[in-house]
A and B are shown apart, each in its own frame.
Chain A
Amino acid sequence: MEQKTLSVSAIKDGTVIDHISAGHALKIVRLLDLASHKQVVTIGLNLPSGSLGVKDIIKVAGKELSEEEADRVAMFAPQGTVNIIKDFQVVKKFNTRLPSLITHIIVCPNPKCITNHEAIETKFKTIGNNGQLKLQCHYCEKIFLQSDILEYKNN
């Protein structure tokens, strides 16, 4: 019988966010405030991946990630898959989808943007998802590469 070794231990009930772009798992932890989660959260960084080369993975015990939450993490895991686990079995599986508008989580890198001076929920339009994601601030209208974004807000 083939023996599989799991790099990250299995969970009984919860959610596995797989195929996260390498280096982004901790941003998702902050975004979903998983550090405050009362049950086990396992994070794997730079795991080998057939499709991505290397990937990150997060396993959250005792939490079923909603599709809305999955969409919010999509900018860090554009090819991400979400597996809902019940009694060690995958009962639901879906892909993350990049929303056309990302609200709240991005801090606008433009220091002269009004959002950096008044308490405003930021809004960014997503432009193009093939390879290079660009984000346009709803307020100052500047267009940024994802790598230009220096700071994210959590909940």
Chain B
Amino acid sequence: MASLAGRSIVSIKDLSKEEILSVLGKADRLKINPEPRLLEGMVLGSCFFEPSTRTRLSFETAMSKLGGKVVGFADGAVTSAKKGETMWDSMRIIGQYVDVIAMRHPLEGAARRASEATNKPVLNGGDGANQHPTQTLLDLFTIRECQGRIDGLDIALVGDLKYGRTTHSLAQALTHFNVRLHFVAPDSLQMPDYICEELKNAGVEFHIYDKMEDVINEVDIFYLTRIQGERFPDQMEYERIKNVFRLKKEMLSDVRNNLKIMHPLPRVNELDEKIDDTSHAYYFEEAQNGLFVRQALIASVLGKI
């Protein structure tokens, strides 16, 4: 297995199965044994060209809790991009100041481009609708944590599967494992053909549904995502689907005991707040795990663990 030291993580496909498992193992260790001085003297450039709450704060907290420092910005409008500077120039310069960069950018491919502009490792915190590999790693970590394994599980991916980058990356990452996938979405928002083709090529079994009720009792993980109104050309259709794609507490009466509900958050109305207190809710733990996975990733690309 190649070392992650010095490497950028732009796409989940940049990582082999062994490398993914290695990051998850390091996150496990950091969750149990914090390392508050591991990255002393090192600086993270937190370059968020578009707003983010969980991803940015968890990257920054991850660096701080390992003893490193953080510089950066939370809005592209305050950078030289507003003066017309290219992203390439910005990242090349920032790379001369810091040891590692976490970034989010509204344009697809921006993180790959940034990784070519600087020789410092770039961790992609989301590039448009393209990739968000740290979300995928924390999702895998969370699945393994709450079920004790990944292989052999029935996993439902639910909601906007057409445009949702988290579900695309998670499905791609799960091709490394022996799982059965269940895709639940309105017809117009089903998983794109190219992902289904990748799954077929990898020999992953998957099934397609248009109602949550058809599958909720048959799965170990129910990974729910938000359906975004702006994706719908017809707002009436959105209003209808929004109300159909809503997970309510009463739908959990016959589910498997070990079922865990995950959600990349933020939620709007697709996930009933009454579920929060049930043993099936695991989305807040999922969000917290982002911290340990990002610690593991930052420390790995800096060659410190």
Contacts and interface: CB of A to CB of B under 8 A. Distances in A.
B113 A120 contact: yes
- Interface centre among B11, B113, B131, by most A CB within 10 Å? B113
A115 interface: yes
Contacts of B128: 112, 140
B86 interface: yes
Interface string B215-241: 000000000000000000000000000
Closest 5 CB pairs of A and B: A139-B109, A140-B108, A114-B109, A140-B109, A114-B107
B194 A141 contact: no
B112 A139 contact: yes
Contact of A113 (B86, B109, B194): B109
A110 B112 contact: no
A133 interface: no
Interface in B92-116: 105-110, 112-113
A141 B107 contact: no
A113 B109 CA distance: 6
- Interface centre among B11, B88, B106, B130, by most A CB within 10 Å? B130
B74 interface: no
B108 A118 contact: no
Contact of A138 (B88, B105, B110, B112): B112
Contact of B108 (A120, A141, A143): A141
Contacts of A138: 109, 112
Contacts of A137: 109
B108 A112 contact: yes
A117 interface: yes
Contact of B86 (A118, A140, A143): A118
Contacts of A115: 109
24 contacts: A112-B107, A112-B108, A112-B128, A113-B107, A113-B108, A114-B105, A114-B107, A114-B108, A114-B110, A114-B113, A114-B127, A115-B109, A117-B107, A120-B88, A138-B109, A139-B108, A140-B108, A140-B109, A140-B127, A140-B128, A140-B130, A141-B130, A142-B108, A143-B194
Contacts of B127: 114, 140
B281 interface: no
A140 B124 CA distance: 13
Contacts of A110: 108
Contacts of A112: 106-108, 128-129
Nearest to A122: B109
A120 B117 CA distance: 11
A7 B186 CA distance: 56
B296 interface: no
A118 B87 contact: yes
Interface in B119-143: 127-131
Contacts of B86: 118-119
Nearest to B107: A114
Contacts of B110: 114
Contacts of B105: 114
B156 to A, nearest CB: 25
Contacts of A120: 88, 113
Contact of A141 (B88, B106, B113, B131): B131
Nearest to B168: A141
A46 B128 CA distance: 42
A118 B105 CA distance: 13
A139 B11 CA distance: 10
A43 to B, nearest CB: 35
A115 B194 CA distance: 22
Interface string B11-38: 1000000000000000000000000000
A126 to B, nearest CB: 15
Contacts of A142: 108, 130
Interface string B229-255: 000000000000000000000000000
Interface in B167-209: 194
A125 B106 CA distance: 23
A108 to B, nearest CB: 8
Nearest to B11: A141
B118 to A, nearest CB: 15
Given A112-B108, A114-B110, A142-B130, 16 more contacts: A112-B106, A114-B112, A114-B113, A117-B107, A118-B113, A119-B86, A120-B88, A120-B113, A137-B109, A139-B109, A139-B112, A140-B108, A140-B109, A140-B128, A141-B109, A141-B130
